[in-house]
Amino acid sequence: MTTHLTTATPSRTDSEMYFKMLGFTKVSASPVLFSDGKALVELDPDRFARPGMKIHRASWSDLLGDLEPFGPIHERGSTRVVAAPSGTWVYLVEGDAPAPDSAASAEPSVLGSYAGISMETTRMADSLRFWELFGFTVSAGGADQGWLSMADADGFSISLMAPFACPHMFRNPSLTYFNSGSNPEIIAEIRRREIPILEEVTVFNKSGEVDNVILEEPGGCGFFVFND
């Protein structure tokens, strides 16, 4: 079972240019995949596409009954689609995941150190149970603490945040980068490349300086580029 982010692009050309500006490498033309050596993002130009998580597995028949309490399971061709308790669309694909050899060897992006996917959820306990069905286990935090991090057997990481826990804009889902004090230099490079910044975050800095930024790619997925 392999998981990656998928985004709905209104313009394949604009989205490809955006990820190239970030320093991502195009590692597959069909499907269109970009990687920075850690994160893997699929660009879906279908008019009915929505941003979310795509999970590949040999068969989903044994999990469908467990997923039904979380809401309707929709069908799009051979793919089943369910909404996670966070509202994030999850695409259930039967068959092997695309795994281009060049993805792991792609150069790091300008965004720094990748830390997984973040989602905000109004139903933390349900979200925990939902992702456990896919083999994710808690690696930090807890539902009773208002946040938690989880990882699957492949090392794919997600973080779940309670509503209104973050004093900044939150796109569901968002790729997350933590840069251990080097974020001001990364933000300077983002500005140099003229990459649009959705929000400049100063709330975590005692001097009111911009040391965190939120980005948004053309398909609606966010990027947390943080100094933690």
Residue labelled with tokens 């966070």: 86
In the chain, where are the structural domains located? 2-104, 114-226
CATH superfamily of the domain spanning 2-104: 2,3-Dihydroxybiphenyl 1,2-Dioxygenase, domain 1 (3.10.180.10)
Q: What whole-number distance in Å separates Cα of residue 41 and Cα of residue 18?
A: 12
* CATH class of residue range 114-226: alpha beta
State how far the alpha carbon of 187 is from the alpha carbons of 129, 158, 193, 194, 213, in Å: 36, 24, 10, 11, 7
Instruction: Please tell me the distance from the alpha carbon of residue 28 to that of residue 25, in angstroms, as a whole number.
Output: 9
Comparing 2-104 with 114-226, is the CATH topology the same? yes
Per-residue pLDDT of the chain (228 residues; tens, 9 = 90+): 589 999 999 999 999 999 999 999 999 999 999 999 999 999 999 999 999 999 999 999 999 999 999 999 999 988 999 999 999 999 999 998 887 777 888 999 999 999 999 999 999 999 999 999 999 999 999 988 999 999 999 899 999 999 999 999 999 999 999 999 999 999 999 999 999 999 999 999 888 899 999 999 999 999 999 998
**Cβ distance 147 to 228 under 8 Å?**
no
Is the pTM higher than 0.75? The answer reads yes
**Rounded to an integer, what distance in angstroms lies between the CA atom of residue 194 and that of residue 161?**
30
